[in-house]
Amino acid sequence: MHIKKDTKFLIVGLGLMGGSYAMALSKKGYTVYALSDKQQPLDYALKHKYIDKGSIEIDQKLIGDADIIIFALYPLTFLDWIKENASLISPGTIITDVTGVKIPIIEKIQTALPQEVEFIASHPMAGKEKYGIENSDDSIFGEANFLITPTQNNTQKAKEICQELGEILGFANIAFITPEDHDDVIAFLSQLTHCIAIALMNCNDEEHLKAYTGDSFRDLTRIAKINDQMWSELFLLNKDFLLKHINEFENELDKIKVTLIENDQDGLRKMMQKSTIRRSQFDKNK
Amino acid sequence: MHIKKDTKFLIVGLGLMGGSYAMALSKKGYTVYALSDKQQPLDYALKHKYIDKGSIEIDQKLIGDADIIIFALYPLTFLDWIKENASLISPGTIITDVTGVKIPIIEKIQTALPQEVEFIASHPMAGKEKYGIENSDDSIFGEANFLITPTQNNTQKAKEICQELGEILGFANIAFITPEDHDDVIAFLSQLTHCIAIALMNCNDEEHLKAYTGDSFRDLTRIAKINDQMWSELFLLNKDFLLKHINEFENELDKIKVTLIENDQDGLRKMMQKSTIRRSQFDKNK
């Protein structure tokens, strides 16, 4: 193990995800520092013993002391922070993140860092429809995937440290994937599904529908409750992959429309049989 | 109460829904008969005491004895059954159903029945991704809506009987709605959501995605496991309303695409804020 009992973590950003990381790491006995641009999350984290120390300032000592820094910021805020403060990070520090897109940030971050500071990107595929440190919950990691997206600039040691971090946080599954595959997969599995939920929730104004709703509509729109600042950044940063997947999805929906227009019951049944088989295989492999 | 302890029910069709009706009614002590075109569901229902008597034949005595007949058949099978056997039903019998579309069947059924037999249509908005009597489960009614769709041909007494049936079955909510509104609402809330799930499940062939899947994709594709014979009938019978709602949904998804193409973060955020508010209100009113 590279991560030792005395390894010091600094978490930058104390929202739902930063708070949940702090909660998990402090429970395991690690020293956890935090930076936040607001006092309230720091107070909350100190009160609940999620962190040992925290600062609302760019605290040079906290930054310099950290062995591992985890950035739990929105993507553009993360980029800005690194551009302004990278020089404060000590040589030998390992940096990782929680960002939901990878290609648009990895190279920019790696370029902006001092030579002996290494950024190994990762993405905890966990979350809630709520946000803020008050909703922190380290149990969200227990059934979730932790994706690590190394580039050729990353060392074996950094990859191992990031894997250890995923294990300490308690993720069900840890996988290595290229940044390109990550952004493609995320556009399909996560961003497209959120677009569908938003469109479904917004496309019909009939208030009285609420009275008749069944489980399927509730399931499909659960994620229509969305943090608009974070997700709009993620969608726009990943727009090429996302547009590709929206178009592929609409093409598939158009195939259903054609079977309806042509009264093609056989064609419709074949699509349903295909989706049934695919969804069943999918259950087994989860 | 019109429905008395000695009221005799006949259920035609012993699939998941017919079986669940039989289960609920027999538990409450009513006499329940059943007709099925297969022996196995009858044996299962008799063994589990869901029914008192059953027949694989068109049993004139069972049909003639029933006070209330519930048709739990696919829509076209229901229409065929009535055309062939309506004359066997005793005067004064009340008929209802479980069919997921209303306009395409109500008038045809009412026209085909003897004058003193009344059809009052209803739709239990409950179900599972499994089918067959072995999966019967009367607990699915406890959180579900029971929709009754009377026409001007229906008597007050039949409406009351149908409402009593919904109460006996244990539905959380019972509502009266016109057949037109029913088919429109169902096309949106139920059929469109199933189309979306099928399209999402079928639009991407990358097997390796399974390893990275989060909850949102699982939620949106749960109903992609679908009884293709039943749902293809329902989709085609209701195709005008369904096509309207698919088109409205695609238009809304296209608006998201435009914001992406134009890098319109404000526009994107407004859509997300709208869907968040709508989904939240929706939770409260459930």
pLDDT tens-digit readout, A211-235: 777 778 888 999 999 999 999 999 9
> In the 3-class helix/strand/coil scheme, how is chain B assigned residue by residue?
CCCCCCCEEEEECCCHHHHHHHHHHHHCCCEEEEECCCHHHHHHHHHCCCCCEEECCCCHHHHHHCCEEEECCCHHHHHHHHHHHHHHCCCCCEEEECCCCCHHHHHHHHHHCCCCCEECCEEEECCCCCCCHHHCCHHHHCCCEEEECCCCCCCHHHHHHHHHHHHHHCCCEEEECCHHHHHHHHHHHHHHHHHHHHHHHHCCCCHHHHHHCCHHHHHHHHHHCCCHHHHHHHHHHCHHHHHHHHHHHHHHHHHHHHHHHCCCHHHHHHHHHHHHHHHHHHHHCC
Cβ neighbors of B209 (< 8 A, separation 6 or more) are A185, A188, A189
HSE-up (13 A, CA, CB side) for residue A13 = 21
B28-53 pLDDT, tens per residue? 999 999 999 999 999 999 999 999 99
Interatomic CA distance for residues A66 and A61, integer angstroms: 9
The domain spans of chain A are 8-177, 182-284
Interatomic CA distance for residues A34 and A71, integer angstroms: 10
Q: Who among A189, A222, A271 is closest to B214 (CB)?
A: A189
Cβ pair B177, B203 in contact under 8 A: no
Q: How large is the average pLDDT for residues B230-250?
A: 97
Task: Show the CA angle centred on residue A200, arms to residues A186 and B191, nearest 5°.
Answer: 110
- Predicted confidence at residue B128, as pLDDT, reads 81
B111 at interface of A, judged by CB pairs closer than 8 A = no
B217: which 2 tokens?
Answer: 């994709």
CATH class for the domain made up of B8-177: alpha beta
Please choose, from the candidates B21, B23, B29, the residue with its C-alpha nearest in 3D space to the C-alpha of residue B5: B29
Chain B's closest residue to A263, CA to CA, is B236
Query: B residues 240-259 near A, CB within 8 Å?
Result: 242-243, 245-253, 255-257
Contact A239 B228 (CB under 8 A): no
The pLDDT > 70 percentage for chain A reads 98
Q: How large is the average pLDDT for residues A161-184?
A: 97
Cβ pair B137, B20 in contact under 8 A: yes
Q: What residues of chain A lie within 8 A of the CB of B265, using their CB?
A: 232-233, 236
**What CATH architecture does domain A182-284 belong to?**
Orthogonal Bundle (1.10)
Between chain A and chain B, the number of residue pairs with CB atoms below 8 A apart is: 263
pLDDT above 70 (res B25): yes
Q: Who among B193, B199, B272 is closest to A252 (CB)?
A: B199
ipTM of the complex: 0.91
Please choose, from the candidates A240, A114, A120, A117, the residue with its C-alpha nearest in 3D space to the C-alpha of residue A179: A120
Order the strands of the B118-119 sheet from edge to edge. Answer: B53-55, B31-35, B8-12, B68-71, B94-97, B118-119
Contact B250 A253 (CB under 8 A): yes
A205 at interface of B, judged by CB pairs closer than 8 A = no
Please choose, from the candidates A69, A68, A171, A160, the residue with its C-alpha nearest in 3D space to the C-alpha of residue A124: A171
pLDDT above 90 (res B123): yes
- Predicted confidence at residue A285, as pLDDT, reads 46
B224 at interface of A, judged by CB pairs closer than 8 A = yes
Q: Could you tell me the sign of the dihedral formed by the alpha carbons of A85, A88, A91, A94, in that order? A: negative
Q: At what angle do helices A228-237 and B265-284 cross, to 10 degrees?
A: 140
Mean pLDDT of chain B: 95
B144-164 pLDDT, tens per residue? 999 999 999 999 999 999 999
Per-residue CA distances from A80 to A74, A75, B97 (Å): 10, 9, 62
Cβ pair B78, B97 in contact under 8 A: yes
B51-93 pLDDT, tens per residue? 999 999 999 999 999 999 999 999 999 999 999 999 999 999 9
pLDDT above 80 (res B202): yes
- Predicted confidence at residue B286, as pLDDT, reads 42
Q: What is the pTM of this model?
A: 0.91
Interatomic CA distance for residues A163 and A136, integer angstroms: 22
Q: A11-24 as b/e, with b when 16 or more CB fall inside 10 Å?
A: bbbbbbbbbbbbbb
Per-residue CA distances from B18 to A104, B41, B255 (Å): 55, 10, 43
B139 at interface of A, judged by CB pairs closer than 8 A = no
Interatomic CA distance for residues B60 and B46, integer angstroms: 19
Q: How large is the average pLDDT for residues B219-240?
A: 95
B229 at interface of A, judged by CB pairs closer than 8 A = yes
B38: which 2 tokens?
Answer: 């297969």
pLDDT above 80 (res A33): yes
Q: How large is the average pLDDT for residues A113-127?
A: 95
- Predicted confidence at residue A24, as pLDDT, reads 98
- Predicted confidence at residue B107, as pLDDT, reads 95
Q: Who among A193, A206, A252 is closest to B216 (CB)?
A: A193
Chain B's closest residue to A123, CA to CA, is B212
- Predicted confidence at residue A48, as pLDDT, reads 98
Q: How large is the average pLDDT for residues A2-30?
A: 97
Cβ pair B252, B188 in contact under 8 A: no
pLDDT above 70 (res B10): yes
The pLDDT > 90 percentage for chain A reads 89
